Amino acid sequence: MTEDKLLIWKLKRGSSDALRQIYKKYKNNLLKLAVILLNDAAAAEDIVQDVFLNFARLSPAIKHLGNLKGYLTVAVVNQVRNHIRDCKRKNTERLEDSQEVVSKLNRPEQWAILSEQLKLLSKAMAGIPYEQREVITLYMQGETTFRQIVKIQNTSLSTVQGRYRYGIEKLRKLLNHEVEK
């Protein structure tokens, strides 16, 4: 946390080096978050790049950045929601049905290199409703507390806890099913 505060302090004083350090520190974490939420590595890459680009553009003007990790995490979550909404609007890919989307990795200029375990997890996560997926991912990957998720999802604590509980139950079944296969 202290390191982040120093990075923000430097960043707000024009240090490109601080921006590079922030990128290196958080890129994997944010990519993993987006991949798990979307089960689509290409879209996750685009989203995380956009998040960093927006962060770079806006950071000098942001008055109270506060928790850097939290800020970037929420930025990714918001972009993921926008992406899902756009997809639904365009009626293109239905994420829940995109069983093999994450494996579409043999593309040129590939950025993210996913482990087999991550592919398996993303695929299983795609089988649970988005709100539940978001709670589980933020809690387990984003190290976000339930109370913080309440704010992100603009709902009640009991709803968040319920989503987590039901999501975990379903995810366990899906993962067991994958392991058995």
Partner 1 sequence: MKNADDIKKIFYKAAIETNPLKDEKILENITAAYEQTNKAQSEKGELNIWRTIMKSPITKLAAAAAIIIAVIIGSNFLGIIGKSSVAWAKVAENVERIDTFKFNLKIIVHNNDPDKSAEDTQAQWTIYLSSKYGFRMDIGNQDNEVSWYIPVENDKIITVIPSEKKWVQMPFSRDYAKQCEEKDPRDYIKRFMSCEYTELGRQTIDGIEVEGIEVINPPTDIEHLENAVGYLWVDVKKQLPVRVEISGNVDCNTVQCNMDFRWDEEFDAGIFQVPSDYTQISQ
Minimum Å distance from CB 84 to partner 1? 20
* Ramachandran area for residue 178 (φ above 0: left; ψ -120 to 50: alpha; else beta): alpha
Closest CA to 132 of 160, 100, 103: 160
Minimum Å distance from CB 62 to partner 1? 11
Closest CA to 52 of 82, 28, 35: 28
State which residue, 9 or 151, has the beta carbon closest to partner 1.
Answer: 9
State which residue, 1 or 179, has the beta carbon closest to partner 1.
Answer: 179
Minimum Å distance from CB 91 to partner 1? 30
State which residue, 31 or 74, has the beta carbon closest to partner 1.
Answer: 31
State which residue, 109 or 154, has the beta carbon closest to partner 1.
Answer: 109
Minimum Å distance from CB 3 to partner 1? 11
Question: Where do contacts with partner 1 occur on this chain (CB under 8 A)?
Answer: 6, 9-10, 12-16, 19-20, 23-24, 27-28, 31-32, 35-36, 49, 52-53, 55-61, 109-115, 117-118, 120-121, 136, 140-141, 168, 171-172, 175-176, 179
**How far apart are the C-alpha atoms of 59 and 106, rounded to whole Å?**
34
Amino acid in the structure at residue 117:
Q
**How far apart are the C-alpha atoms of 121 and 52, rounded to whole Å?**
25
Minimum Å distance from CB 106 to partner 1? 13
Tokens of 33: 């978050």
- Using the structure block, give the residue that is written with the tokens 């239905």: 94
State which residue, 32 or 163, has the beta carbon closest to partner 1.
Answer: 32
CA angle 176, 179, 181 (to 5 degrees): 110
